[in-house]
Amino acid sequence: MVETLTAFYAGDVDSYISHSDFGSELTSGRDSLLRLMLGRYVGEVGRKGGLQAVEPLKATLENDSVAVVSYALRFGNGSRETCIKRLKKVGDEWKMCVSE
């Protein structure tokens, strides 16, 4: 999860895609949409002084292949945001759910 979120806020689309689960609803326009979305958030994070850390806070298993993780994002300007995300086990790797 930390690697996925770090890639997201750094604008590393390829790494973000490889560590995410988009469900079955995403079309072939995924890359273009993601690049636009990442550009917006990377700019926002830059105004906050950049991402300094992703801090996992709590993880709860819903079942063998789904976990809910709460985490904090710490920014260079001293601000902090707390978020919750679902992770899905795909093969041997946990991927961050984007479609939920």
CATH 1.10.10.10 for the 2-97 domain, yes or no: no
Distance, CA of 100 to CA of 85 (rounded, Å) = 8
Taking only the tens place, the pLDDT of each residue in 70-99 is: 999 999 999 999 999 999 999 999 988 876
Q: CA-CA distances (angstroms) from residue 56 to 6, 65, 74?
A: 12, 18, 11
pTM: 0.69
Q: What is the pLDDT of residues 13-48, one digit of tens each?
A: 788 877 777 766 555 566 677 777 777 877 888 899
87-98: burial string, b at 16+ Cβ within 10 Å, e else: bbeeeeebbbbb
Per-domain boundaries in the chain: 2-97
